[in-house]
Structure 1
Amino acid sequence: MSVGDQKILKTEPLSGEDAKWTRLILTTYTDPTGKIRAWEHAERPTRPKGSEIDGVGIVAILSKSGGSEIVLQKQYRPPIDKVVIEVPAGLVDKGESAEEAAVRELREETGYVGAASLSTPVLFNDPGFCNTNLKMIHVTIDMEDERNQHPKQELEKNEFIEVFSVPVGELWERCKSWEGEGFAIDARVGTLAEGIYLAKQLGS
């Protein structure tokens, strides 16, 4: 069994009453000239009360003898009908901080036990389309910890995730190779790769 062993059977319109994870909204607003305009967009109705974010993306780094590697995943995504190269990620639970969510999601999706070390500002994925937001949390994985010697995923029944890691310095070239192989690249992975590439180009 592979994460790619999935296929779309049909697509059809979904009424608002039947939608669990998304909601379509029509917002009326005034532009700088005072003209009234309308904007169609989506929102995620699952953000916990009192939380400023919907979820977290996780930059998980393995320190190995040969250098640092970033933990990535392959996961089939029905909206684009492709297997996507992603960072571990997930929604925040009620009463949970972004850092706690990141450590929990990393353990569930990859089996690795880590410690949060850095949190970004609140980031918006596609603000012209949806209000969904997240924080990127950097997590360090201690490979000396015996729990990380043979990590075991704790996936839900509807989750099929393949975990792997690549050297941080190779991420840009790997993204180009994966695209050529037919994989989709998640924007968070692509942005990380581009940042690393630019840092090299600028000598920083």
Structure 2
Amino acid sequence: MTDRHLIETQQSSQVVFKGRFLHAFQDTVELPDGSSTVREYVVHPGAVMVIPLLQIEDGSLRVVLERQFRYPVDRVMVEFPAGKLDAGEVSFACAKRELQEETGYYAAEWARAGQMHPVIAYSTEFIDIWFARGLVCGQRHLDAGEFLDVITASPSELLQWCSDGRVTDAKTLVGALWLQNVLNGVWNLNWQSADAVGG
């Protein structure tokens, strides 16, 4: 089977906006039937999301989350820690950096779960999904102009927040799905020490 009957071909491309890390383009494309149309989209450098698993002394499991004001939607959102890739940065280095900077936690073990594309209709953005466990709390190092609260929740609390609309962030909803399937034994993770992943 071939996808040729679905593929659109770029005919021309114009930069509409060039920001600090987002670039907007307007392209003219040829559709599979030979006609032309315009596609507008944003080029994004990519990002990571971390699902940090915190083992409590009583043996229960909690996940580390953040509360952060998101200007475009004008509200405080509950999210998993996440951040964009710096130029030339590999995914794991970004995940480790974002977890430590935003939450203060270091993780002894890591597992890459997969990748998601949050807004395929108008952005090139991808988000690599990482799990982290064996957490040790340290000092946060927030970026200038970054303000957020670090909270924890049980997996069942998080799923309830997803169900009742308290969590609407796309990456966190996907993370909750991944977490649920991992905890239920449906999806497996390949855990490695931080040193092994880094190597």
Give the TM-score, by structure 2 length.
0.74
Distance 1:197 1:114, change over 3 A: closer
Question: 1:73 is matched with which residue?
Answer: 66
Q: Deviations over 1:7-34 (max 9, x none)?
A: xxxxxxxx836x3232221122222212
Question: 1:187 is matched with which residue?
Answer: 170
| Separation (CA, whole Å) in 2 of partners of 1:102 and 1:198 | 21
| 3-state DSSP of counterpart to 1:185 | coil
Question: 1:16 is matched with which residue?
Answer: 17
Which amino acid is the alignment partner of residue 121 of structure 2? G
Q: Which of the pair is proportionally richer in strand?
A: 2
Which amino acid is the alignment partner of residue 163 of structure 1? V
User: Aligned pairs, how many?
Assistant: 170
Question: 1:51 is matched with which residue?
Answer: none
Distance 1:22 1:193, change over 3 A: same
| 8 Å contact from structure 1 (residues 116, 137) kept in 2 | no
| Separation (CA, whole Å) in 2 of partners of 1:203 and 1:117 | 17
Aligned-pair CA distance for 1:128: 0.4
Within 5 Å, give how 1:39-78 maps onto structure 2.
39-44=39-44, 47=45, 54-64=46-56, 65-78=58-71
Distance 1:96 1:195, change over 3 A: closer
| 2:162 is equivalent to residue 175 of structure 1 | yes
Give the TM-score, by structure 1 length.
0.72
Q: CA RMSD, aligned part only? A: 2.5
Question: 1:50 is matched with which residue?
Answer: none
Distance 1:98 1:189, change over 3 A: same
Question: 2:29 is matched with which residue?
Answer: 29
Q: Deviations over 1:143-174 (max 9, x none)?
A: xx5xx2xx331112200010011111332113
Aligned-pair CA distance for 1:87: 0.7
